[in-house]
Structure 1
């Protein structure tokens, strides 16, 4: 049966961030993910996880910058990662190092290395070469700590100019890196918008061993499953079937904005998850 993690950056928007851990646990989630932990002391997050019986299964590396304040500033100024950006290798390394510190404290098995927007005037080949080199360095550092590093294709409607958009491109990069702990974060919201054919893509890529995590949101409005065009019952059955055949036992992150953002709206919108949580 698919295992779902609540994305606390997007779900429960009516609550302060630290209160969202308890809300997710009360709704039956056993795991959480979110964009960034860096605004909070690691031990505060650890306490919230332990108090609510939750696992941390994913978070992102910083989008740019070299310390907590500049991480936030980078995100607010539109930076969406540094992994593929020539000239920002030092920022990338600082970000990986800080992410691994938090991953150790939170016992989180994987981090998402944000690929970033293609630099103005940069050729795709140069961005790929920078990305591969950065990931090869990150793979070594993450392996020392027993962590996986993930990259995520993102659709250009949500994030115009993002360097990585397609599953085949992401898998080419991962193969070129050549490290067992570098994998693809397969977000089915982005995949549906760019490529479609979700069932075939799951069947094609999940058995390769290079998919480290799934994320979901309905298309087109990024709300909860059942509010748009995707047949999620079929998709979850496909993931379940292929997982059983290939031995994949990862998590599916619920990275969606609840259609009802009012108090209690996230919980009321979990009808799609009945039988899974």
Structure 2
């Protein structure tokens, strides 16, 4: 009887030990999972943003203080951490844009719609014009995803609402606010590259159509040049969508349009001796 009792006690002890080990394992896995999807993603995002910021400053403003990048990170996170990821309005980033004020000089702003690759290739190589993504904040945030959650201090870089899923998600609101501000700060002659290889080069629902074009105001902005980039020289500046663009613009602006082969722009980019004006 004593032997059976001892065996039973040993069995109970073994079962309890096994359960205890399983509980410990579950807790450890939970901590690891939480780290990978919460704190870890926050650290990765922070490292990426700080690194991009420092690289940008080294290349564009070597004498600036590195504290700018820490300020950028702190004011950036205040806009969305702890918030419903579908309830972050563009104005949530006001403090960020007040702290980091960086816009193209007069006559140097290049807008784009459905021409991101060629527009950025042009600005990066020729240095004549600047897109939003060539500014400090635009450069740092380009291609990144982020969001928070209600009553949480964590930052997420996956599982965030898609651009079209809700209109006030943190990423879309950031770009809407930055697009509005760069348009409002644009001065002198402005340029936009539109895709002339599609039926409607000007899309009123694009960022340029919804936000930027409407905010170009005379006399701060003197005029807008449309560069209609085509694969084959068939698109006309008389396209109906471009007529719609002209109706959206401030009627006091000078408007011009040029159809340009993409190959011509690429040739201009590759020739270091060709002046910017010859690209179109």
Same fold (TM over 0.5): no
Higher Rg: 2
Report 1 or 2 for greater relative contact order, CA contacts < 8 Å, sequence distance ≥ 6: 1
Larger helix percent: 2
TM-score (norm 1): 0.31
TM-score (norm 2): 0.31
